[in-house]
Amino acid sequence: MPMRHTHSIMVKQAWVVAGLAIHAFASAATPCTGIDRSLSAAQQRNYAVAIEQHLNQQLGPEVQQKITTAPQDVRQVFRLGTWHIVYVHTHVSDEPFLFYPQPPDKAAAYVTAWAGSAASDEAPSIRAWLRKNAPGIPPKLARCFAWQVTAARDVQ
């Protein structure tokens, strides 16, 4: 009987170790490792004001309505150097990622936007699209974005 109990404990320990290994692998390096994803409440407030203005100038005429953004609508940011990719809720369209070569509150406009979904095999074409539509974007940030929209989806 003691052998069986010891075996049971060893099996449970093996499952725990396996679970920890899977968790460690899942949180291991990704193409977004090293990309600043921090977003303070002050940044959300400042970015929301600027982004609302940019969206109304650039997207508003297309959707034929005024766009309002609140701080909580600034959902995520991906930052490398001065470049920012901001994921924002517009309330009028698919949620876009807006691309800025500087902080949104220092920019006159976003350089391009991406909304919608992407298949897991589309990362290379997304990076090519970014080279064309967001000239100067750091390659690492482009790789991170392509991974985010094709493989990671809502992974933070």
The tens-digit pLDDT sequence of the chain (156 residues) is 455 555 455 445 545 444 444 444 455 689 999 999 999 999 999 999 999 999 999 988 888 889 999 999 999 999 999 999 999 999 887 899 999 999 999 999 999 999 987 998 999 999 999 999 999 999 999 999 999 999 876 544
Question: Quick one: how far is CA 153 from the chain centroid?
Answer: 8
Can you give the pLDDT at residue 129? 96
Tokens of 99: 């691309």
Can you give the pLDDT at residue 23? 45
Task: Tell whether 19 and 81 lie within a shared domain.
Answer: no
Task: Tell whether 96 and 19 lie within a shared domain.
Answer: no
Can you give the pLDDT at residue 13? 53
* Domain contains 35: no
Could you tell me the residue range of the domain that residue 94 belongs to?
41-152
Task: Tell whether 56 and 108 lie within a shared domain.
Answer: yes
* Domain contains 7: yes
Task: Tell whether 21 and 47 lie within a shared domain.
Answer: no
Q: What is the DSSP letter of 113?
A: E
Can you give the pLDDT at residue 20? 45
Task: Tell whether 23 and 45 lie within a shared domain.
Answer: no
Can you give the pLDDT at residue 37? 96
Task: Tell whether 6 and 71 lie within a shared domain.
Answer: no
The Cα 3–Cα 9 span in angstroms is: 10
* Domain contains 69: yes
Task: Tell whether 9 and 83 lie within a shared domain.
Answer: no
Task: Tell whether 73 and 130 lie within a shared domain.
Answer: yes
* Domain contains 36: no
Can you give the pLDDT at residue 24? 45
Total domains present in the chain: 2
Task: Tell whether 20 and 68 lie within a shared domain.
Answer: no
Task: Tell whether 25 and 48 lie within a shared domain.
Answer: no
Task: Tell whether 22 and 45 lie within a shared domain.
Answer: no
Only one residue has tokens 């959902």, namely: 75
Q: Which residue from 88, 147, 75 is spatially nearest to 115, judged by alpha carbons?
A: 88
Can you give the pLDDT at residue 2? 52
Task: Tell whether 21 and 70 lie within a shared domain.
Answer: no
> Residue 109 in contact with residue 54, Cβ under 8 Å?
yes
The Cα 136–Cα 62 span in angstroms is: 26
Cβ-based neighbours of 131, under 8 Å, separated by 6 or more: 137, 142
